[in-house]
Amino acid sequence: MYVDVIKSLCSLPATDLNFTADLKRATPRQIALAIETMKNNGGKNKSRIKACERELKRRDREHGE
């Protein structure tokens, strides 16, 4: 299950409902691993990377307050 979420974040279009659902339930570590994986694959997944980075920032803001 842990790897399935990372695979989804790395392969599904950022506008896909399954992507957004997996992004919401992913742990910060899973999101970070997905970002790292996508960047290592040439960084062609800019919209997915940005969506993941935005989610991490959103969570940081929520937990920082």
Query: Is the confidence at residue 65, as pLDDT, over 80?
Result: no
Helices (H), 26-45: 28-40
User: What's the domain range around 48?
Assistant: 2-64
Q: Give pLDDT tens digits for 19-57.
A: 999 999 999 999 999 999 999 988 788 999 999 999 999
pTM: 0.89
Give CA 59 to chain center in angstroms.
Answer: 12
State how many domains the chain has. Answer: 1
Q: Give pLDDT tens digits for 43-53.
A: 788 999 999 99
Let me know: does 21 contact 8? Beta carbons within 8 Å. Answer: no
